[in-house]
Chain A
Amino acid sequence: MIATTDSQRRWRRIFLIVGAIVAAYALLAPLTSMDAAQSANVPLLADKFWFRIATYMVMFIVMATAWNIIGGITGYAAFGNVAFFGIGAYTTGMLVAKAKWPFLVALPFAPVVAAVFAALVGLPLLRLRGHYFAVASLGVGVAVGELVQNIDYGGQPVFGGASGLFLPIYAVNNRGLFFFYLMAAAAAISIAVTWWVLRSRFGYGLIAIRENEEAAAVLGVNTTAYKVAAFALSAALTGLAGGIFSQWNVFINQENAFPIEYNVQMILMALLGGTGTVFGPAAGAVLLQLLIQFLGGSLPISIDLPFVSTDAQPIVAQVILGLLLVVVVIFMPRGVIDFFGGRTRLSLSYLRRSLRETSL
């Protein structure tokens, strides 16, 4: 939000060009796996295994970018956004599995239902400030998952219950490729929405709320409407990711549609990358997802952690993530994207200055 000088602009341009090249490679490489490309002897740059990780990564780009709208731009630390992911997943899942709708017809309902739900719970919840809101939203995130698993009607679980929900496999050529691109489209939409928000009257209102809610109100910002709208927009994008996930994964249950750890992960991604910015959360999502996959041993390159048995590796990964959260919040409050604007450089004095800012 601070005025930029020429050198900052040049840095930003370099950063954008490099980002665009990486994104272009990530988007085009999968095409080499198509039969036509293979018969034309194009080298295989990405296989099925790659799709799975890449699709997860892009899914987290959507969630972190969506969280940024309420958490980063509006300044309300929502700890229960996974509820919207699950609601999106179950909306599309139910429509496809039970109502037998075609997937692409059912998909648009995922963001709509998630947004309506967010608006309804947002009205009372967004009256709370600071950590009260964080705790209450966390409660919603947990409660919705429990409800979905446990609601029965006439002795039958409505949403598949503990055994989950199976969707018919979506008949499409190059399924892995299809869902990767669908998820990438959702990521592009969420980044585009953020870009628009930050340049709109709406976005200025949200930032004013984050900086000082009472001052925003007396200057004419309808704070309640703006907060609820930001929450609903965040929920819609998260719900869209959930909707795509349900058909991609074919099977959903409480565990994979409402994973509590996603709450922390999407926030950590946004913080790591830089809250309140357009590309920060996406950059954070890629970095953190790479780290998670690396620690989980899913990447081709991996290391054996000393003194840690293979079984304990996922737990150690969680510990490392937790430590990272602490370090990032304290030492890099504006995220790694801060270093790519050309305004600041990663140095010991930067970390020291941040520590002074964050430790009151």
Chain B
Amino acid sequence: MSAGAAPAELELRGVTKRFGGVAAVDGVTFEVAKGEIVGIIGPNGAGKTTLLNCISGVHRLDGGDIRWQGASIAGMAPHRVAGLGIGRTFQIVRPFGSMTVRENAAIGALFGNMDGRRGIKKAFELAGDVLELVGLSAKADRPVSTLTIPDRKRLEVARAVATRPQLLLLDEVMAGLNNVEIDEALEMVRAVHATGVTVLLIEHVMRVIVGVCRRAVVLDFGQVLAQGEPEVVLRDERVIQAYLGERYAKRLKS
């Protein structure tokens, strides 16, 4: 029931999602303990984002179960999942275009986690704090249309953090960033984690996985291929095969 010493906060048991005849996520089982940072990696089309959509309630499951703090959340609407303390970002940023940066974050604070919902004034205060955390304070009153891509990704994280999640699902927040920006983003993820938030992140940048994750789950064709410590998992022959093809894996071995 538990991964290591800490009890599992999020449990996925045989999670399956089909699109037509294709099983995008096929019987995925793993657990995330409270306070962990877990990375999900895998080749394009492995079902990483679909899995995140299943957890956050954007997709309905076709099989299996997802339990959050002991109770099933499978089939729950996204706003109810958010209300239970699971926040998420989108791979392709989805800012509220007519609003300022601060207002965007305030939406997360106004809604989000159902414990301690707050008034508008309090929500804007919290939004200010969160923008400080992700390093967007200086741009708080700008319209989002003026933000650069890295800043938009920050805002995506800020909005999710403003919902006061206990678990944060990050979908490739580092994709498309340069090395300096990745370091800044890593700092941001560490800062958010330091506030006591469990993090489950999808990432293509191996440096990120090795840098912040204590554990990685490898998906391929919708199934869990391997999981464990990032350094160990990344040396796994099946993982190399999935990424680089059978021939290259053999050559690497010999």
Contact = CB atoms under 8 A, between A and B. Distances in A.
Nearest to B98: A1
Contacts of A214: 58, 78, 90, 94
A3 interface: yes
B63 interface: no
Contacts of B143: 2
Interface in B135-159: 141, 143, 159
B50 interface: no
B96 A212 contact: yes
A155 interface: no
B92 to A, nearest CB: 11
A207 B78 contact: no
Contacts, number: 94
B79 interface: yes
Interface string B116-148: 000110000000000000000000010100000
A219 interface: yes
B56 A218 contact: yes
Given A204-B107, A214-B58, A219 B112 contact: yes
A214 B91 CA distance: 13
A241 interface: no
B79 A220 contact: yes
B73 interface: no
B79 A223 contact: yes
Contacts of B163: 219-220
A220 B98 contact: no
B96 A222 contact: no
Contacts of B79: 217-218, 220-223
Nearest to B162: A219
B83 A1 contact: no
B111 A205 contact: yes
Contacts of A205: 107, 110-111
B98 A207 contact: yes
Query: Which has the most chain B C-beta neighbours within 10 Å: A200, A215, A276?
Result: A215
A221 B111 contact: yes
A218 B165 CA distance: 11
A201 B100 contact: no
A216 interface: yes
A3 B141 contact: yes
B104 to A, nearest CB: 9
A211 interface: yes
A207 B58 CA distance: 20
Query: Which has the most chain A C-beta neighbours within 10 Å: B57, B79, B114, B159?
Result: B79
B202 interface: no
A218 B82 contact: yes
Nearest to A75: B98
Interface in A191-231: 199-201, 204-205, 207-208, 210-212, 214-224
A64 to B, nearest CB: 20
Contact of B99 (A1, A200, A222): A1
A221 B56 CA distance: 13
A208 B112 CA distance: 13
Interface string A274-290: 00100000000000000
B110 A218 contact: no
B96 A207 contact: yes
Given A1-B100, A219-B160, A212 B95 contact: yes
Query: Which has the most chain B C-beta neighbours within 10 Å: A199, A204, A205?
Result: A204
A344 to B, nearest CB: 14
Interface of B: 56-58, 77-79, 81-83, 87-88, 90, 94-100, 103, 106-108, 110-114, 119-120, 141, 143, 159-160, 163
21 contacts: A204-B110, A205-B110, A207-B98, A208-B96, A208-B107, A211-B99, A212-B94, A214-B58, A215-B159, A216-B96, A216-B107, A218-B87, A218-B88, A219-B111, A219-B112, A220-B79, A220-B108, A220-B112, A221-B111, A222-B77, A222-B79
